[in-house]
Structure 1
Amino acid sequence: MMQGEVIKAFEHTMPNIHTTHILDGAGHWLQQERPEEISKLLTEWLAAIDG
């Protein structure tokens, strides 16, 4: 399955997912490769679910 197809299937395979983000050029160690971006995304997500 191609990346786009996998993401489109998320609503069925992960019904409680809130959002997705693709960081072009990043590998498997996102928190070390792109710490500022990851911190920003996580902080925004936590603020949204805290309500």
Structure 2
Amino acid sequence: MFLRRKIVRQSGKEYVYWQLVENERRNGKVRQKVICTVGREEEMDR
């Protein structure tokens, strides 16, 4: 599992989210499954 930084651009604005992602192999190919969205970067304490 790892954290992914996801950037979404909507209506001229940019939002940054963090997602918890898990890699899993299906039919010989690696797929990434989003376990949960942790939250927006602006709202998180660092």
Task: Please give the TM-score of this superposition, normalised by the length of structure 1.
Answer: 0.21
| Structure with the bigger percentage of helix | 1
Task: Please give the TM-score of this superposition, normalised by the length of structure 2.
Answer: 0.22
| Structure with the bigger percentage of strand | 2
Higher relative contact order structure (alpha carbons within 8 Å, sequence separation ≥ 6): 2
